[in-house]
A and B are shown apart, each in its own frame.
Chain A
Amino acid sequence: MQVKITFPHAGEYYVVFKDLLSNLGYEVVVPPPTSQKTLDIGIKYSPAQACLPFKITLGNLIEGIEKGANVVGMIGGKTGICRLAYYSEMYQKILADNGYQVELLAVKVKKEFWVNVRKHHPTLTLRQFMKTIRDFWQKLIIFELIRERSLELRPYEINKGDCTRMKQRFLRELEQTSESSRLKALKQEIIKGFDSISIDTKRNVIKLGLVGEFFLLIDQFSTLNMEEFLGNNGVFLKHSLRFSEFFVGSLKQKRFLDNYLPTHNNKVYKLAKKYITRPIGGHARESIGEAIVFKQKGYDGVIHLYPFSCMPEVVAGSIAPKVSSDWGIPILSICMDEHTGQAGFQTRLEAFTDMIKRKKYPSTAVDYKN
């Protein structure tokens, strides 16, 4: 039987994951972009109390399976202390109950991944496997460069939409580039491309950090295109966690190092210790610690995003007001659920950025239209 694999969307990251899987020899079925229909499917088959990321990703998988996939790739697999660890089991059970007979493949940096891929592709050598992983890693880093540059430059761009267009152009190129020798040159082109965008550096821009549930920080469907909305409102955005960091975050060796060596995460845990002493699942501890790191780096505020019913982040959200007053950094906690109306969400974001702008630039003009 031909092995066709599909996997859930997470923002535009399919560009890199598609490549990883096809280089390993799979035929890849990319699900259609996340839409209202995806969410509707997800809601229909999910338990009501499941969180938004679960519903969206399940919708993605079903749409992918209906396009012909018979294997489902679950990024991260059974890791984490929160419900995420349980999700792959849930997917399998829900899919089977509804007549979708598929196999589950955990995509992660573990030996288990190699063993399972080898079952599908017995001729694959370890050398080829390692090379594919290395190429994937290189591509992931480039992907993040594109994403970060567009977030940093958007508030300054003179022609609205330049950053978005540039990002899309390079993502397309990255998607089409498969030989690793081209990647280095592409990286240089990306740096040059973004530098060529005409910017106005005199604008009253504020810097906000993003913390919270990992999927929501990436997926622009569930956060109603928050990145562009904020960028166009004069906000320089920075994520606390990169996908690449998330991907290796479950490695035992890395966790060990973070506990004892002065790594970035070690610093984050130490800062969070006053509020959360031990991991409670998800990125609750990181959300608190990273918010303080953003303050130390001179950011003007922090946005904390979490899905409704996400236990770890609800805990972090309840601690946020205390952190905010202890450290003097405004924190906006926003809970996302199935609502797709933008008005209420944007009102909160706009009021938050307005508040910070009026504090930071009291005497200068504020945009009256946004």
Chain B
Amino acid sequence: MNQYYIGVDVGSVSTNIVLMDSKDNKKLSEALYIRTNGQPLESLKDGFKILKDKGYSSEDILGVGVTGSARVLIGNIIGADSIKNEITAHAVAAIDVCPNVKTVIEIGGQDSKMIILREGVVVDFAMNTICAAGTGSFLDQQAFRLNIPIEEFGEFALRADEPVRIAGRCTVFAETDMVHKQQEGATKEQIVAGLCEALARNYLNNVAKGKSIQEPILFQGGVAFNKGIKNAFEKELGVQLVIPEHFNVMGALGSGILAKEAIHETNKPTIFKGFDIMQKNHRLKRVDCRDCSNACELTEVTVAGEIVAKWGDRCGKWQK
């Protein structure tokens, strides 16, 4: 009888779910990568349905961890044992895969991160600030514009003989620059390779900002699939990047490991509410608490007519 920990990463572009063997972190029985499409609840519902259809039972789940931008919402609904930010989750997963990792480059849909580790401890990190240039969404849009499936983007870049220079600081200007280069006769391949280099440059200037990038370097997140970006980074930095086996679900893997740690440390059974919780009818409501002058805005979740979670209060009264 196999038992599992579930790790969920609900991000802006994709919702990832991993089913990790309880005895071996490296053994992933399932790794789902589902497009979020702006609806985190729906995508998770689909994911849980797939797992249930494959014959996994809620009783075999020992713990659940959630990360990603919708972590509080999802964690409260499904009953998560660990609700943690993406930096911690990605770092934990990276250490598990490669214990002596010194740098993690993670590029997702909306966020790009750099994590610096020494001896298995995070010592520094950085995230992109206000601008989304240099993230996966930017590439997604440009691929759409050039009419190239995003999956083939990397191949296109590798085929280019000489990339064109594209301004990468701002996506809007990058787009203008790209159009102008197209009109000057640059090929699709050259433009794609130029975009990859622009993204790598933007990342190193705006996120890394002169941090000491030492090997081994793990490159994770959905964008790691893109060989053109990997190439651009290696060219710019003059070092090799390692892409872990489960690069696109590293956040989910990390939150699964965190759930395992949480269960081991607290010695309590999981509070997971089962796969079926997502199949029931959900209602999200914003309510104002009028019990004191704080007038906190609460989020209330009702599943099949019953209030299952309420949060957003400053006093802790509703978070049970």
Contact = CB atoms under 8 A, between A and B. Distances in A.
Contacts of B317: 161
A120 B106 CA distance: 61
Which among A164, A334, A343, A359 has the greatest number of chain B C-beta atoms within 10 A? A343
B156 interface: no
A359 B122 CA distance: 8
Contacts of B316: 159-161
Contacts of A346: 85
Interface in A218-270: 225, 228
Contact of B69 (A159, A337, A347): A347
A321 B124 CA distance: 10
Contacts of B111: 344
A38 B92 CA distance: 42
Contact of A168 (B75, B83, B293): B293
Contact of A347 (B85, B123, B210, B315): B85
Interface in B280-320: 292-294, 314-317
Greatest chain B CB density within 10 A among A228, A354, A368 is at A368
Contact of A368 (B69, B209, B258, B292): B258
A325 to B, nearest CB: 8
Interface residues of A, number: 33
A362 B259 CA distance: 18
Interface in B66-93: 69-70, 72, 75, 81-88
B242 interface: no
Contacts of A225: 314
Interface string A158-178: 011100110010000000000
Interface in B98-133: 111, 121-125, 127, 129-130
A11 to B, nearest CB: 15
A228 B315 CA distance: 10
Given A335-B130, A347-B69, A359 B121 contact: yes
B211 A343 contact: no
A358 B122 contact: yes
A110 B204 CA distance: 48
B82 A362 contact: no
A168 B294 CA distance: 9
Nearest to B69: A343
B273 to A, nearest CB: 16
Nearest to A355: B122
A157 B211 CA distance: 37
A365 B265 contact: yes
Contacts of A93: none
Contacts of B130: 308, 335, 337, 339
Contacts of A337: 130
Contacts of A165: 292, 315
A289 B127 CA distance: 24
A164 B295 CA distance: 13
Nearest to B317: A161
Interface string A341-370: 001101110111011001100100100111
B262 interface: yes
A335 B111 CA distance: 15
B315 A164 contact: yes
A351 B67 CA distance: 12
A212 interface: no
Nearest to B70: A343
B258 to A, nearest CB: 6
Given A168-B293, A344-B69, A368 B121 contact: no
A221 B135 CA distance: 29
Interface of B: 65, 69-70, 72, 75, 81-88, 111, 121-125, 127, 129-130, 209-211, 258-259, 261-262, 265-266, 292-294, 314-317
Pairs A-B, 9 closest by C-beta atoms: A161-B315, A160-B316, A351-B87, A368-B262, A368-B82, A350-B85, A355-B122, A347-B85, A343-B69
Interface of A: 159-161, 164-165, 168, 225, 228, 308, 321, 324, 330, 334-335, 337, 339, 343-344, 346-348, 350-352, 354-355, 358-359, 362, 365, 368-370
Given A358-B122, A369-B75, 12 more contacts: A161-B315, A164-B315, A165-B315, A228-B314, A321-B209, A330-B124, A335-B129, A351-B86, A355-B122, A358-B121, A368-B262, A370-B83
